[in-house]
Amino acid sequence: MEPIQDASKQQSQPGQQNQTEIRIVPFEAEHIPYVNDMNEAFPIFGRLVPSFEGGIWTYTEERFERPSFLSFPDDRLDWESYVGSDRKAIFLAFRGDRCIGQVRLVQDWTGYAYVENIAVRGSHRGSGMAALLLEQAERWAREQELHGLSLEAQDDNLAACRFYLKHGLILGGVDTLKQAFNPEIGTTLYFYKIFEASE
């Protein structure tokens, strides 16, 4: 798969690398040292409040009086198992030689591409980088002829919930027990994007 380049941006001077060029590349073993680089704190400023009525999930937002920050522990997985696999994949985003984002996904038994993680360095959040990574996840899922994308988010990660909804995912389920023994996590929300047959 060829790297995707973001055609934005600024012109570099002759003989200089264009540091604004973004490349999204398939994960290789040489990328293992970068894989947790994007695991930086993110703001917790509100929650998505779901409601199930008439067979449809709807939601409202609740804002917190005092925002806080949260970070997850580094993932420790068999990273080499993602290399060259047609069942799961990681794509990394680079600006110049700096890794600034990643999306990690796997074929789920339900026929969806389950997005295990999507993360962007704090310095590049709000730049459209996450949208490019989500587009790459969708491209991979279509290449594998899967039904769509699925992922989960915590109800108090309002920024992530807003992002998924903005980019075409819909709220499809809620689980209050999955993380019952984790005091740091409350309600788990499930989001989906189902591909239309004509797309």
Within a domain: 107: yes
Structural domain tally of the chain?
Answer: 1
CATH code: domain of residue 175 = 3.40.630.30
Classify strands 148-154 and 112-120 as parallel, antiparallel or unpaired. parallel
Least confident of 3-7, 61-65, 104-108, 115-119: 3-7
Per-residue exposure over 90-122, b if at least 16 CB sit within 10 Å of its own CB, e if not? bbbbbbeeebbbbbbbebeeeebbbbbbbbbbe
Query: Does 86 have pLDDT greater than 70?
Result: yes
- Give the pLDDT confidence of 35-65 residue by residue, as tens digits: 998 888 899 999 999 999 999 999 999 999 9
Mean pLDDT, range 168-179, rounded to an integer: 93
Within a domain: 188: yes
Within a domain: 12: no
Residue range(s) defining the domain that contains residue 133: 18-194
DSSP string over 132-194: HHHHHHHHHHHHTT-SEEEEEEETTBHHHHHHHHHTT-EEEEEESSTTTT-TT---EEEEEEE
Please say whether the beta carbons of 10 and 18 come within 8 A.
yes
Within a domain: 183: yes
% residues pLDDT > 70 (the chain): 88
Within a domain: 177: yes
Within a domain: 7: no
Within a domain: 2: no
The band of 162, judged by pLDDT with boundaries at 50, 70 and 90, is very high
The residue among 189, 155, 197 whose CA lies nearest residue 170 is 189
Within a domain: 199: no
